[in-house]
Amino acid sequence: MRPHLHALPFNSVETETQEAVALETDLGEEWHIVLYNDDENTFDHVINMLVKHCGHDPLQAEQCAVIVHFKGKCQVKSGSYALLEPICTKLLEAQLNAEIEP
């Protein structure tokens, strides 16, 4: 006779992940949006999106775009995960290559 296996509900993994992120956020860990270089977007588009979504002034956004171009990546915004998640989503929707990293 085979033992009866109990499967975890599908959403339990999602809930555990959300709880882990919430715990890290509650502990005050600083997160960073990292923008990565790509061959698709123009400097003007990257600069405009950093000004619009990250609150950069045009010079700061231009400097970040240059760093991304030559170094391959640049941290463009820091803060709590909860603060950065909607900003990163907007950058992704603008076809930029960005991730939130601790």
Nearest to 43 by CA among 63, 27, 26, 25: 63
Report the DSSP beta bridge partners of residue 77: 33
**DSSP H/E element including 77:** strand 73-79
CB neighbourhood size of 88 (10 A): 23
For the domain that residue 76 is a member of, what is the CATH number? 3.30.1390.10
Q: What is the pLDDT of residues 17-59, one digit of tens each?
A: 555 555 554 567 899 999 999 999 999 999 999 999 999 999 9
**Listed residue (52, 72, 74, 53) closest to 63, CA to CA:** 74
Torsion of CA 11, 33, 92, 49, to 10 degrees: 150
Parent domain of 59: 28-101
| Residue 16 belongs to some domain of the structure | no
Asked if residue 37 is part of any domain, the answer here is yes
User: Does residue 39 belong to any structural domain of this protein?
Assistant: yes
In a domain, 5, yes or no: no
What pTM value is reported for the model? Answer: 0.73
Q: How many domains does the chain have?
A: 1
